[in-house]
């Protein structure tokens, strides 16, 4: 087992078991971050080369989306081998070097783990296909006999999360289940071999220096499929809040994470998990308990409108929930699955089904309704300055520190996301937030790599590049850097007090006289007294302009 403290380069990383509670975590989607070897795909060496940049941001940790061998049918969330590096992205030695560089810069590493499904190229799945019905190899997955005389019909009419059927035939009357793309067969987590193998994987990466794990679809692993399967309509009618839904958020899923916790606790400091669990907010804390993964994503602000009452309720609720679970909450506005928040806030409020509506807007390429690009970025910066002042950990997705917009007009033939192909074409998919990072103002791929970018970058990427913003006062990059640096200095305990204010204004105080004030309205309001530490936009003459957040220090 690797002890980080044994290595002098890791001296910056104290063995603090609570490092994650208030961490600012930067998500890297490796294929789209930096390409060091010129194959058009970002890689681990690219990340290592950018460690000085990461360090200059003032983040505490990196969350690395999957970098395992994969056909990239779902951007790497289709894993062929959980204990290796995709040759397109590098080698295990490159991984070790990257960890060394990150740790040397005082940055921890959270790796993504994908337990709900393997890829269809995983050796277990190949073995399952080559083995007969009822064999131990098939028992690692969810195989069922098809209906009809020769099993030619699917076992049920279930629809996969990415669209299209959730069952795929294998040619002998049996079908396998997949929540996501057909290249992502679901594992059967009642199978002991499956359970044991993941414990091995957790130790494998922990031994190599991973400090934590982001757990993909954490609420989906436990399933209980009756002999007679319900229809999709019957499934849809079932409530998901009792822990007894056959597919989602079942109570026994926590038995899996209790085993994982035992592995996490073999390390010093203990490894940490953060669950991606799209569950009822009241049930989220189970994933975040100290006997489980430790932390869970809360996507509530991401789904909210730019509106003070929604923000306040969400913040208050999640702080209370996390405290009840002995955890700290997580905040996030953008990631590799959703429309970037600079663009979400450039569009009219979304109503109920935020995520889908966000994508639907992009069907028009942002022309109907017309995206208010300037206003979107202004609101995104104001919201970000709220997030970075909240107790708990804050997740920043690569490129948001540049104010990158969602790329809405990717030609169909260049699209990669399975949601686009399986919908088919109705959902534009998630490629628009996965376009390779612009590092320089010009050049084929704006400095992403010598062989161009694997998704087309719009012209605006040059003026939004790191090079264009570096050292420029008021740029979004420098705005993030200042906020992250100040957050380090100001963030002490996990308390927050509300201060009653104008109905358009959200105002809270953190310890040390740190005041956070956002004017969600469009008209200026009086700026509260105090030393101006930071602001999301220009502030002059004692007024707080509309759609602007300030950080103030005041004795009260």
Report the site for ligand BGC in 491-550 (rule: CB under 6 A): none
- With CB under 6 A as the contact rule, the residue among 26, 95, 125, 180 that binds ligand BGC is 180
Whether the Cβ atoms of residue 371 and residue 346 lie closer than 8 Å to each other: yes
At its nearest, how many Å lie between ligand BGC and the CB of residue 20?
19
Pick 80 or 337: Cβ nearer ligand BGC: 337
Dihedral of the alpha carbons of 68, 180, 243, 288, in degrees to the nearest 10: 30
Binding pattern for the stretch 188-227 against ligand BGC, x by CB under 6 A and - elsewhere: ----------------------------xx----------
In angstroms, the CA 296 to CA 310 distance is 20
The backbone torsions φ and ψ at residue 111, rounded to the nearest 5 degrees and listed phi first, read -105, 155
476-490 and 373-387 are packed helices; what angle lies between their axes, rounded to 10 degrees?
10
Q: Which residue is nearest to ligand BGC (CB)?
A: 77
Cβ-based nearer residue to ligand BGC, 113 or 464: 113
Q: What is the full DSSP assignment across 36-59?
A: SSSSSS--HHHHHHTHHHHHHHT-
Distance in Å, CB of 317 to ligand BGC, minimum: 22
Which residues ranging from 100 to 159 are in contact with ligand BGC (CB under 6 A)? 114
What is the SS3 assignment for 211?
A: coil
The CB-of-464 to ligand BGC minimum distance in angstroms stands at 24
Catalytic residue among 60, 120, 183, 216: 216
What 8-state DSSP symbol labels residue 370?
Answer: B
- Listing from the earlier edge strand, what are the strands of the sheet with 174-177? 143-145, 174-177, 167-169
Instruction: Give the tokens for residue 470.
Output: 């570096």
The reply on whether position 400 binds ligand BGC by CB under 6 A is no
Shortest reach from residue 435's CB to ligand BGC, in Å: 15
Residue 374: cis peptide before it, omega within 30 degrees of 0: no
Nearer residue to ligand BGC within complex by CB, 77 or 306: 77
The residues facing 62 across adjacent strands are: 26, 109
Q: Check residue 455 for interaction with ligand BGC (CB under 6 A).
A: no
Query: What is the DSSP secondary structure assignment for residue 252, as one 8-state letter?
Result: T
Contact yes or no for 465/440 (Cβ under 8 A): yes
Q: How far is the CB of 418 from ligand BGC (least distance, A)?
A: 8
Looking at the Cβ atoms of 404 and 505, the one nearer to ligand BGC is 404
Residue placing its CB nearer to ligand BGC in the complex, 276 or 547: 276
Closest to ligand BGC by CB, 35 vs 74, is 74
Q: 75 or 308, CB closer to ligand BGC?
A: 75
Contact between 80 and ligand BGC per CB under 6 A: no
**Residue 438: which region, alpha, beta or left (left: phi > 0; alpha: psi -120 to 50)?**
beta
Q: What's 544's DSSP letter? A: E
Give me 127's structure tokens: 């073995």
Q: Which of 398, 417, 389, 402 is nearest to 334 (CA)?
A: 398
CB of 77 to ligand BGC, least distance (A): 3
Residue 180 beta carbon to ligand BGC: minimum distance, rounded to whole angstroms = 5
Where in 59-78 is the site for ligand BGC (CB under 6 A)?
Answer: 74, 77
Minimum distance of ligand BGC from residue 494's CB (angstroms): 27
Instruction: Note the Cα 306 to chain centre separation in Å.
Output: 20
Please tell me whether residue 276 binds ligand BGC under the rule CB under 6 A: yes
Residue 216 is among the residues annotated as catalytic for this protein = yes
Query: Could you give the CA distance from residue 59 to residue 108 in angstroms, rounded to a whole number?
Result: 9
User: Virtual CA dihedral for 120, 253, 422, 404, nearest 10 degrees?
Assistant: -110
Catalytic choice (234, 266, 307, 444): 266
C-alpha span between 189 and 111 (Å, rounded): 21
The pairing of strands 174-177 and 167-169 is antiparallel
266 is catalytic: yes
Helix residue spans in 208-346 (DSSP H): 232-237, 253-264, 300-303, 308-325, 341-344
Under the binding rule (CB under 6 A), the answer on residue 337 touching ligand BGC is: yes
Spatial separation of the C-alpha atoms in residues 265 and 250, rounded to whole Å: 24
Distances (CA, A) of 190 to 224, 225, 258, 426: 9, 11, 15, 36
Structure tokens at 71: 């056909």
C-beta closer to ligand BGC: residue 70 or 549: 70
- Contacting ligand BGC within 1-40 (CB under 6 A): none
Q: Residue 406 or 547: which CB sits closer to ligand BGC?
A: 406
Angle CA 15–496–400, to nearest 5: 70
Q: With CB under 6 A as the rule, give the number of residues binding ligand BGC.
A: 9
Least distance between ligand BGC and beta carbon 382 (Å): 26
Nearer to ligand BGC, 95 or 297 (CB): 297
Find the shortest distance in angstroms from Cβ 362 to ligand BGC: 17
Interface positions with ligand BGC (CB under 6 A): 74, 77, 114, 180, 216-217, 276, 336-337
Please list the active-site residues.
216, 266
């Amino acid at each position: 087992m690797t002890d980080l403290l044994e290595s002098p380069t890791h001296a910056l990383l104290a063995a603090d078991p609570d490092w994650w509670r208030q961490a600012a975590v930067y998500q890297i989607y490796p294929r789209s971050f930096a390409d060091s070897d010129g194959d058009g795909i970002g890689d681990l060496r690219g990340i290592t080369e950018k460690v000085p940049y990461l360090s200059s941001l003032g983040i505490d940790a990196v969350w690395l989306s999957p970098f395992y061998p994969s056909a990239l049918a779902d951007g790497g969330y289709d894993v062929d081998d959980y204990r290796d590096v995709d040759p397109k992205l590098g080698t295990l030695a490159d991984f070790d070097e990257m960890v060394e560089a990150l740790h040397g810069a005082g940055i921890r590493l959270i790796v993504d783990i994908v337990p709900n499904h393997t890829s269809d190229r995983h050796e277990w799945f190949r073995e399952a296909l080559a083995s007969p019905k009822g064999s131990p190899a098939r028992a690692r997955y969810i195989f069922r006999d098809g209906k009809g005389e020769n099993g030619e019909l699917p076992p049920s009419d279930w629809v996969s999360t990415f669209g299209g059927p959730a069952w795929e035939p294998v040619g002998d009357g049996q079908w396998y289940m997949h929540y996501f793309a057909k290249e992502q067969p679901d594992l059967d987590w009642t199978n002991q071999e499956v359970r044991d193998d993941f414990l091995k994987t957790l130790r494998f990466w922990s031994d190599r220096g991973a400090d934590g794990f982001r757990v993909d679809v954490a609420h989906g692993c436990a399933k209980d499929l009756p002999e007679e399967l319900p229809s999709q309509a019957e499934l849809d009618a079932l409530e998901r809040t009792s822990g007894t839904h056959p597919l989602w958020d079942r109570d026994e899923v926590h038995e899996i994470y209790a085993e994982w916790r035992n592995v996490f606790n073999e390390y010093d400091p203990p490894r940490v998990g953060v669950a991606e669990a799209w569950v009822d907010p009241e049930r989220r804390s189970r994933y975040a308990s100290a006997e489980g993964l430790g932390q869970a994503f809360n996507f509530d602000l991401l789904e909210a409108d730019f509106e003070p009452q929604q923000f306040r309720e969400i913040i208050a609720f999640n702080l209370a929930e996390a405290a009840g679970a002995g955890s700290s909450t997580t905040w996030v506005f953008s990631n590799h699955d959703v429309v970037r928040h600079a663009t979400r806030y450039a569009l009219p409020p979304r109503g109920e089904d935020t995520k889908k509506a966000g994508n639907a807007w992009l069907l028009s390429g942002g022309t109907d309704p017309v995206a208010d690009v300037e206003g979107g970025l202004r609101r995104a910066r104001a919201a970000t300055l709220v997030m970075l002042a909240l107790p708990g950990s804050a997740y920043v997705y690569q490129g948001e520190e540049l104010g990158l917009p969602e790329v809405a007009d990717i030609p169909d033939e260049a699209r990669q996301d399975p949601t686009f192909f399986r919908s088919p074409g109705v959902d534009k998919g998630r490629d628009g937030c996965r376009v390779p990072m612009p590092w320089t103002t010009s050049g084929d791929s704006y400095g992403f790599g010598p062989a161009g970018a694997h998704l087309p970058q719009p012209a605006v990427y040059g003026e939004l590049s790191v090079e264009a913003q570096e050292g420029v006062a008021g740029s979004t990059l420098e705005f993030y850097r200042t906020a992250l640096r100040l957050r380090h200095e100001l963030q002490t305990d996990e308390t927050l007090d509300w201060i009653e204010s104008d109905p358009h204004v959200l105002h809270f105080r953190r310890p040390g006289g740190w005041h956070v004030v956002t004017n969600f309205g469009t008209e200026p309001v009086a700026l509260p007294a105090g030393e101006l530490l930071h602001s999301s936009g220009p502030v002059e003459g004692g007024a707080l302009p509309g759609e602007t957040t300030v950080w103030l220090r005041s004795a009260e």
